[in-house]
A and B are shown apart, each in its own frame.
Chain A
Amino acid sequence: MAYQLYRNTTLGNSLQESLDELIQITPQLALQVLLQFDKAINAALASRVRNRVNFRGSLNTYRFCDNVWTFVLNDVEFREVTELVKVDKVKIVACDGKSESQQNRTRTVLVLDLPVTTEPRPAVG
């Protein structure tokens, strides 16, 4: 199940608005579209994007709830190789990036190899 996190982006919001505008699209179908969008955007971000950003600022608030971090930073400077952008206020919403990989891991089976010695029981006799 891909994160629905990216629905609140420009892309995602415009898609949702477009879906709302076209009345021929039933709500169920719209939901399918959005689910497909979630899968696609997650896959695209993971595979097609390959750049790195550094940033520095001051933390105003932080919140960790349901494994989702929400930060509000002030006076942040985003630095990429090509450019530098400064903003007064930015909100960061971050879902757990590690658990996704955990979900994909195969289960490990623990095999205990205990030495078992059996001695033939003396015949009753």
Chain B
Amino acid sequence: MKELFLDEGLEDRVLDDLRHLWETKVMQSKAMEDFRKNNINSSDFVLQLPANYPRTNTQTLATFSLPASLAYPVQIPAGVTLQTASGQLYKVNVPVVVTQAPVGHQPVSNVSQKVPERSEMPAPQPVAVAQNPVLLQEPEPPSAAPHKLFTIPCLPKLDLDYTYSQLSDIVQLDGAADNSDPEEDEDLPLEENDFLGLINAEAIRALKEENGSDSNSISSSSDDGVVDELDPLNSGDDVVEQDIPDLFDTDNVIVCQYDKIHRSKNRWKFHLKDGVMSYGGRDYVFSKAIGEAEW
């Protein structure tokens, strides 16, 4: 491939960028879970709250886990809500840039302005966001996993406006979910990365479909974060219509070649080969597959 790229006058770097992007997307897809488990370089970035944080003086670190293969610097725009492994939610009110430090593989963040907020805070505390530059800190924990730290200079502001989609744009695999409704819960398609949160894939899809009345009913019915991809699109439809759109992209799809397809009355036998299967969000391959079905 390099020759082709060089012919076009492009640098090798472009090819590497392509490969990197491609690998990033593939890793993101969770269809290759095993690869990711083997990736010991799971990078966490640690959110360090300033000492003058009113609510907590002791707990200053919140660890977020970003996918290892994210290309740095990562920009987290304002309005994104991050959730730590312990379940606490932090809202980024100010754009954050998480960069990777060159030395020691310790990723470090540069935060221009940032305000975290705790979702558990009962009373709103509107506070002006200070314009402090962010401090870069090295993490204490052992060196196996690189950490990214950034400090939040200011006091929190209670704002229940969870818009996850802006962060999703960075790592999302399945296209832009740029119409997140502030009133809805956090959205997270199935193919997303380690960000925990109120996963609501059907809300995203409903937003994408821009089906106003349906999406409201869907979002209200799925506040508990149940992920069921097929329901929202068929919730208002007839039974008949469910049979017709067999070209769903939410299908579990197998792409393969057939050796022999056989039918006796209504019994079908399939002899397939060299296939790639995708189901349950995971990918599989086979060199041969033999199946039976009745019509």
Instruction: List residues of A whose CB falls within 8 A of some B CB.
Output: 3, 5-6, 8-11, 14-15, 17-19, 21-22, 24-26, 29, 32-33, 36, 42, 45-46, 49-62, 64, 69, 71-73, 76, 78, 80, 85, 87, 89-98, 100
Contacts and interface: CB of A to CB of B under 8 A. Distances in A.
Interface of B: 1, 4-5, 8, 10, 14, 17-18, 21-22, 25-26, 29, 31-32, 173, 230, 243, 246-248, 251-261, 268, 270, 272-280, 283-295
B124 to A, nearest CB: 39
23 contacts: A5-B257, A9-B255, A11-B276, A17-B25, A18-B21, A22-B18, A29-B4, A45-B274, A49-B285, A52-B287, A53-B289, A54-B289, A59-B295, A60-B246, A62-B295, A80-B284, A80-B286, A89-B230, A89-B252, A91-B248, A92-B256, A97-B274, A98-B260
Contacts of A22: 14, 17-18, 21
B252 A91 contact: yes
Contacts of A32: 1, 4
A53 B290 CA distance: 7
Contacts of B270: 55, 71, 92, 94
Contacts of A6: 255, 276
A107 B280 CA distance: 45
Contact of A62 (B17, B268, B284, B285): B268
Contacts of A46: 274
Q: Is chain B's interface secondary structure helix, strand, loop, or mixed overall?
A: strand
A38 B21 CA distance: 18
A80 B288 CA distance: 11
B293 A57 contact: yes
B258 A94 contact: yes
Most buried by A among B22, B260, B283: B22
Given A21-B21, A53-B284, A93 B293 contact: no
Given A61-B243, A62-B268, 7 more contacts: A5-B257, A14-B25, A14-B173, A53-B288, A91-B248, A94-B261, A98-B259
Contacts of A53: 277, 284, 286, 288-290
A22 B292 CA distance: 43
B295 A58 contact: yes
B276 A45 contact: yes
A17 B169 CA distance: 13
A3 B258 CA distance: 13
Nearest to B288: A52
Contacts of B1: 32-33, 36
A50 B275 CA distance: 11
B246 A91 contact: yes
Nearest to B291: A55
B254 A91 contact: yes
Contacts of B248: 91
Nearest to B263: A62
